[in-house]
Copies of this chain bind each other. A is one copy, B any other.
Amino acid sequence: MREKVTGHLYLIPVPIDQNDNTSILLSKDKNIVEHLNYFVVENEKTARFHLGALNLHKPINQLHFEVIDQTKTQEDITSYLTPLLEGFDIGLLSESGCPAIADPGSKMVALAHQKNIRVIPMTGPSSIILALMASGLNGQQFKFHGYLPLEKEDRIKKIIAIENESSKYHETQIFIETPYRNQHIFNDLISKLQDKTKLCIALDMSSENEFILTKKIADWKKEVTPDLKNKPCVFLLQG
């Protein structure tokens, strides 16, 4: 009997801008997606939209979708591996940018490693890396914090701790915020950080309205404040 061959788990990026209906996959990766029938996705509607943008040679309603989100149990996610164990490949898609970075997809990847499934990441846009490249800040040592604490007092403590850490170790510190709260964070940063600390604001990455600017806090204080409201923003600082 020949050895059982398992499928591969492909990690498929989508545009950062959710309204972007262009394909951001390299042609070699698009060819791989062409042969996939099974998908595990953060949101089925947006996954269908992004796969539609690839102009696949088969109808999207013939594809199988499973949804991985915060409501799913470890057992649910384990069941999603079944096609892989039967030898079929699966594509994993998140809502925005690279899957399995800051989304529940990493649970699926972790299980795949446990089952000796080969995991293959495809190149695509990462707002963290694009912002870091364009910031001019240290790309040799950096830390991504995800979201800052919700409570103002905790948030300010965290901002100051981050600045100290950055000064001490010469690291770039990166974080994001829920878009409607960007302006509050920006105000906290301007008022609490030291004048010599560098702050980069990276707004609407990869869209027509992309805005990326690095200035010392002293200079941000003189600048007309960019309109941050309801725009996806990556904040980067170096003390």
Contacts and interface: CB of A to CB of B under 8 A. Distances in A.
Given A113-B215, A210-B120, A139 B102 contact: yes
Given A26-B24, A136-B119, A129 B109 contact: no
Nearest to A206: B123
The 5 closest A-B CB pairs, nearest first, are A110-B136, A109-B136, A101-B139, A113-B214, A143-B143
Q: Mostly helix, strand, loop or mixed at chain A's interface?
A: mixed
A11 B121 contact: no
Contacts of A171: 143
Copies of the protein in its oligomer: 2
Interface of A: 11, 22, 24, 26, 28, 98-103, 106-113, 118-121, 123-126, 128-146, 171, 200, 206, 210, 212-215
B123 A136 contact: no
A131 B11 CA distance: 11
Contacts of A142: 143-144
Contact of A132 (B101, B103, B210): B101
Nearest to A11: B133
Centre residue among A99, A110, A123, A141 by max chain B CB count within 10 A: A123
Contact of A123 (B24, B120, B143): B24
